[in-house]
Amino acid sequence: MQNKIHTAQSAFQHWKTISFQDRALLLKRLKTVLDERRMHYAVLMTQEMGKPITQSLAEIDKCGWLCEYYAEHGESFLQNQYTQTEAQLSFVTYEPLGVLLGVMPWNFPFWQVFRFAVPAIMAGNTVLVKHASNVPKSAVGIESLFLESGFPLGVYQNLPISSDKVAEFIAHPFVKAVSLTGSEHAGSSVAMQAGKYLKKTLLELGGSNAFIVCEDADLEKAVAVAVNARMQNSGQSCIAAKRFLVHETIFDTFVDKYKLAVSQLRSGDPMDPETQIGSLARVDLAEDLEKQLQESVAMGAQIVLGGRRKEAFFEPTILTNVTPEMPVFKEETFGPVAALVSFKTLDEAISLSNQSDFGLGVSIFTANISQIKTRIHEFNEGAVFINDLVKSDPRLPFGGIKKSGYGRELSKEGILEFVNCKTVVIH
Ligand code: NAP
C-alpha cells in the first residue's frame, strides 16, 4: 500500500504542471462518464448501503454538477490576488500542497468523496482515499471512474486499508494533509495523528441540526420539508434535521400533520423507484439507534409513530415529550427518528437550538424574514437556512463548528483549503 504514496507523489510532480484548462477538460469528461453510467453507479451504492435508488441517482447527478462547477470556476478561484503595498508588486498565489489523504464515510458513498477530491485535484493536488469498509465496490468504482475519464495514473487512488492503518499514512512525509468526513471519534483520532506531524486537517463530523417552526410559519411547507429533512437517506445524514422545535401554539397541529406525512412514506425494496425509506446501512447502526430511543423513552419521551426495529430496518419514528437531557436530543441520531420539542419564545428556541455539542446547521421556518435576519448571528452553526432544509450546494461553503468539525468544503472556500496561499512581495 505504501507504494501508492510514491505513485501519488510522482503523479503530483506532473499533475501540478498541467494547465487549469486541461484539468477542467478532464473534470468535464468525468461528468460525462458519470452521466453515461449513472444507473450503474447508483445501483452500486444502493446494493452496498441500502439507499433508495432514486436518492442514489440524485447523488450521482450532484457529483456531476460538482465536476462541472469546479471545471468552470476552479481557475478563477485560484487566480493570483494583487494587493497595493509600498512594494513594487505584492500578491498572493495559490499552489497545490501535494499528496492528500481523504478518509470517507459510507452514507453518501460518492458525494462525500467527490466533494473532497474534485476541488483538491482541480487545485493540482493528488489524492489517496481510504473509504469506509462497508462500501468497497463504490470505492473501487470511483477510482476506475477517474481512470476511465483520462486522469493520469496516481491522481486519484483508492486505498483499501483498515482504519488502524490510517496513522501510518498520515505519518508519511509525502502526505501533506488529511480530510476526514465521519464520526467525532474518527475525527479526533485522525486530527491527533496529524497534529503529531504538524499536518493540516479538515474535519466534517456529526450533526444534530435543529429545525425551528415559528408560530407564523407556512405550516404545510414546514411539514413537507421536515419529512425530507429528517427521513432522507433513511435518516443517515449529518445535516439531517434531528431536533424539531415547534412553537407551542401550533405544536399539536404540527404533530398531527407530520405524523400523517411520515406515515405515508413508502418503505421496501431500495431498488424499487417508489421506495422512500430503506433499511439502515448495517444492523449495528439500527441497534445503536434503538438504544438511544429506548433510553429516551425510559426518561419520559413518548412515541407517537413507529419505534420498532426489524434487523437493519428502523420504522420512521416521531417522539414527543423530549427534553434536552435525553439521548435523542443531546446525541446524534443516525436514522429515521425525529425528536419534537415545543417552545414559547424565539429566545427559547434559539437557546434550545444552541444546546448541542454540534454546530453544523439549523433550519428556521418563519414568515418574519426581517426579524430572523437580525438574529442569525445568535445561532452557533456553520449554516443557517431560512424556510428550507440545510443542504450542501457546490456554490456555497459547507462545514461545521464545535464538535461538527472545522474547515469548509465546496465553493471558493473549499478549493482554498488545500493550497499553499503564498505571499509574494517584489521591491
Ligand atoms: P466513522 O465510523 O467515523 O467512519 C468514517 C471513516 O473513518 C471510515 O472510512 C472509517 O473507516 C474511518 N475511521 C473510523 N475510525 C477511524 C480511526 N480511529 N482512525 C482513522 N479512520 C477511522 O463514521 P461513519 O459511521 O462511516 O459515518 C457516520 C458519521 O459521519 C456520522 O457521525 C455523520 O454525521 C458523519 N458525517 C458527517 C458529514 C459532514 O459533512 N459533516 C457527512 C457525512 C457523515 P472504517 O469504515 O474502516 O471504520
Residues 94 and 237 in one domain: no
Give the pLDDT of residue 2: 76
- Is 36 a catalytic site residue? no
Q: Is 271 within a domain?
A: yes
Give me the CATH number covering residue 201.
Answer: 3.40.605.10
Q: Active site residue: 204, 331, 332, 381, which one? A: 204
* Cα of 201 from ligand 1 centre, angstroms: 14
Residues 116 and 243 in one domain: no
Q: How many Å from the N-terminal Cα to the C-terminal Cα in the chain?
A: 47
Closest ligand 1 atom to residue 187 Cα is 3
Mutate to test the pocket of ligand 1, among 106, 183, 398 (most ligand atoms within 8 A of CB): 183
Residues 319 and 416 in one domain: no
Q: Is 398 within a domain?
A: no
Closest ligand 1 atom to residue 108 Cα is 43
Residues 321 and 422 in one domain: no
Residues 298 and 348 in one domain: yes
Closest ligand 1 atom to residue 405 Cα is 41
* Cα of 88 from ligand 1 centre, angstroms: 48
Instruction: Name the nearest CA neighbour of 258 among 320, 329, 346.
Output: 320
- DSSP 8-state secondary structure symbol assigned to residue 316: -
Pocket around ligand 1: residues whose beta carbon is below 6 Å from it?
103-107, 112, 130-133, 162-163, 166, 181-183, 186, 189-190, 204-207, 238, 332, 334, 360, 400, 404-405
Closest ligand 1 atom to residue 131 Cα is 9
* Cα of 140 from ligand 1 centre, angstroms: 18
Q: Is 397 within a domain?
A: no
* Cα of 413 from ligand 1 centre, angstroms: 23
Closest ligand 1 atom to residue 404 Cα is 41
Q: Which residue's CA lies nearest to atom 46 of ligand 1?
A: 132
Question: What's the structural domain count of the chain?
Answer: 2
* Cα of 161 from ligand 1 centre, angstroms: 14
Q: Is 391 within a domain?
A: no
- Is 413 a catalytic site residue? no
Residues 54 and 141 in one domain: yes
- Which domain, by its residues, includes 360? 209-386
DSSP, collapsed to helix, strand or coil, labels residue 410 as: coil
Q: Which residue's CA lies nearest to atom 35 of ligand 1?
A: 182
Distance in angstroms (rounded) separating the CA atoms of residues 200 and 193: 10
Residues 87 and 186 in one domain: yes
Residues 148 and 242 in one domain: no
What would the grid cell of residue 242 be?
Answer: 434531528
> Which positions ≥6 away from 235 have C-beta within 8 Å?
280, 314, 316, 333, 334, 335, 336, 337
Residues 377 and 307 in one domain: yes
Q: Is 395 within a domain?
A: no
Q: Is 274 within a domain?
A: yes
Q: Which residue's CA lies nearest to atom 18 of ligand 1?
A: 186
Give me the CATH number covering residue 365.
Answer: 3.40.309.10
Residues 215 and 197 in one domain: no
Closest ligand 1 atom to residue 409 Cα is 40
* Cα of 182 from ligand 1 centre, angstroms: 3
Q: Active site residue: 143, 214, 238, 381, which one? A: 238
* Cα of 93 from ligand 1 centre, angstroms: 33
Residues 198 and 266 in one domain: no
Residue-wise DSSP of 270-287: TTSTT--B---S-HHHHH
Residue-wise DSSP of 200-250: EEEEE----EEEEE-TTS-HHHHHHHHHHHHHGGGG--TTSEEEEEEETTT
Give the pLDDT of residue 385: 98
Residue 395: Cβ within 10 Å count: 11
Residues 282 and 187 in one domain: no
Mutate to test the pocket of ligand 1, among 106, 110, 238 (most ligand atoms within 8 A of CB): 238
Q: Which residue's CA lies nearest to atom 10 of ligand 1?
A: 132
Mutate to test the pocket of ligand 1, among 49, 101, 107, 179 (most ligand atoms within 8 A of CB): 107
Supply φ then ψ for residue 90, to 5 degrees. -140, 135
* Cα of 396 from ligand 1 centre, angstroms: 23
Q: How far is CA 405 from the centre of its chain?
A: 11
Q: Is 112 within a domain?
A: yes
Q: Is 236 within a domain?
A: yes
Which parts of the chain register pLDDT below 70?
none
